[in-house]
Every structure is written in structure tokens, then in C-alpha cells.
Amino acid sequence: MKKLLIAAAIGFASLTAHATDIGLSAAEAYAKIQKAEPNVLFIDVRDPIEIMFVGFSDAVHANVPFMLVDRAQWNAEKGVFRLYRNPDFVNQVKLELARRGLSADAEIITMCRSGSERGEPSAALLRESGFPNARYVINGFQGDAIKDGPQAGFRLKNGWQNSGLPWSSRMNADKIHRVDPR
């Protein structure tokens, strides 16, 4: 019985360690990029249309959307276009790794708008797909929304933009996910 309890405790501890090491702050991600760590791939996983209106950081190596907007499918109940998972996401990440001479063991850092809807799930999918060091930026590009006051609902708390890290309203044509011939 004692051995069973010890094994369960070790298993739980490893699950807890896995859950905490998958996320990192925007400042931690930026520090890795500034140090030019050779075994890191930093990707923005937002749809380029969102980036066009919200902003972009040239610190990312590439934009590989995890979810794409299907503008031909309207969800009347939610008042939004349908989102679907990019069926080529994992292969596109592999291509970005290959372009940089990186292996599946590289640290892949994903960033979305908030960190929760695409950042964390994309990192989890990459881990399930054989990339053990996939991580995501907690609070993403825009951060959390303020809950009270005259700016309630605006994403003005934490995240890349609100941490004083470099970003622009302009996209980098060499880094953004494009379907047109270049």
C-alpha cells in the first residue's frame, strides 16, 4: 500500500510539473529571443486577419495559425465566423523548424491573443505530436481584460503588449502566414 501511495504521489508530482512548465511569461519569451538562444522557435499562432487589427511583434520568428477563420461560415448564435483548426499546423511548424535547422527537441513557444484559447492548446498539441519542449506565452499578446472601471472589457492587463515589449500595428510580410505566391 505504501509503495502504491508513493507511486501515486510521484505520478501526481510529474503531472503538476508538466502543467507548470508548459507556460512562460511574455518577458521570459522575449528574454530568450533577445539572447538569441539557438534552439528556440517563437511562433504567433493567431489568424493573420486578427494580427492585422490587433498588432504584431517582429520578435516572433513566424506566424503559423493554429485556428483559421472560415469567412464562408457564419455562426448566427454567437455572431462570429466559424473557426477551424489549421489541418497543416503541425506540418507547418515542422517546416519552420527545418528552415532554421532545428530538431523536434527545440523549444517551440506559441503565442495567441490571450494565451488560453490557442496558445496553450497549440503547445499541448505540439507536445502530443512529438515536440516535448513546446510551450506557450501565458496571457498571450493582448493579455487579460480589465474587469471594473471605465475601461472594463479592454485587454489592458499583462500579456505582450502591456508588458512594454516591442510590437507594432504593422505586420512583417516575411513572417506572416500567407497563401499568396511570394
More confident position, 153 or 101: 101
CA dist., res. 135 & res. 132, Å (int): 9
CA dist., res. 60 & res. 18, Å (int): 24
More confident position, 74 or 21: 74
Q: Find the range with the poorest average confidence among 67-76, 83-92, 149-158.
A: 149-158
The pLDDT, as a whole number, for residue 15 is: 43
The pLDDT, as a whole number, for residue 8 is: 43
Closest CA to 115 of 145, 141, 152, 86: 141
Please state the φ and ψ torsions of residue 154, each to the nearest 5 degrees.
-85, 140
Q: pTM value? A: 0.85
What is the rounded end-to-end Cα distance, in angstroms, of the chain?
64
pLDDT in tens, 3-50: 544 444 444 444 444 444 899 999 999 999 999 989 999 999 999 999
Strands (E), 95-177: 107-111, 134-137, 144-145, 155-157
Please state the φ and ψ torsions of residue 125, each to the nearest 5 degrees.
-60, -40
CB distance 143 to 116 below 8 Å:
no
The pLDDT, as a whole number, for residue 182 is: 75
The DSSP output letter for 24 is E
C-alpha cell at 1: 500500500
Q: Which of the four pLDDT bands, split at 50, 70 and 90, describes residue 2?
A: low
Strands (E), the chain: 23-24, 40-44, 62-63, 67-75, 80-85, 107-111, 134-137, 144-145, 155-157
Closest CA to 137 of 171, 113, 102: 113
**Angle at Cα 103 formed by Cα 100 and Cα 108, nearest 5°?**
75
